[in-house]
Amino acid sequence: YQNSEIKVDFMGEIFTVTNEGIVPYTEDGNAYHVPITLAYYVLSEGKGEPSENFVARHHLANTMTGMFDKTRITEPILIATQGDYKVFSQAAVNLKGKYIGQKKGGYFWVFDPLPKIPVGFTFIEADDELPAELLITVPDNATDFLEYECLDGLEGIIVERIRQEVRRIVQKSQTKS
């Protein structure tokens, strides 16, 4: 916080939050979610530290679970990677994701798009019977730091950033071929 400004490194892009708005504002992908998410985050009271227990967002307390397709939101990444974990892991490294280890039968990565709001991705490779799967999780107390609806936007933003990075990697490898 400096001179009535807060600078936030959000998935590799620096945003400046002021009393007049959030800069830069871009027109690509889910970018309209970025200012909203950052505004809610900056105004959030936030309590304590994030839990190390990661759950799917729809499992958070006081939320509707209903019918939920746990992989639908990550489908753009799986399509872009064609289910290739090596491509996903390279994108994750490029976006400063941290590999944590094996979890729930897959490779568990954590991204820190905002302080105290880590977002986990578990990449489960395809086998003879099932296609590759990518699951998103957040700390079980994530709503202590950001409204539930903003977590939805945050997940969408991260998915789009990873998808863009995967496409960049794939295009770069194709031009080398």
pLDDT > 90: what percent of the chain?
Answer: 41
Q: State the average pLDDT for the chain.
A: 82
Q: What is the pLDDT of residue 32?
A: 52
pLDDT tens-digit map of 35-85: 667 777 767 777 789 999 999 887 775 555 544 555 578 899 999 999 999
Give residue for tokens 């307390």.
61
| Band of residue 133 on the pLDDT scale cut at 50, 70, 90 | very high
> Pick the residue with more confidence: 26 or 125?
125
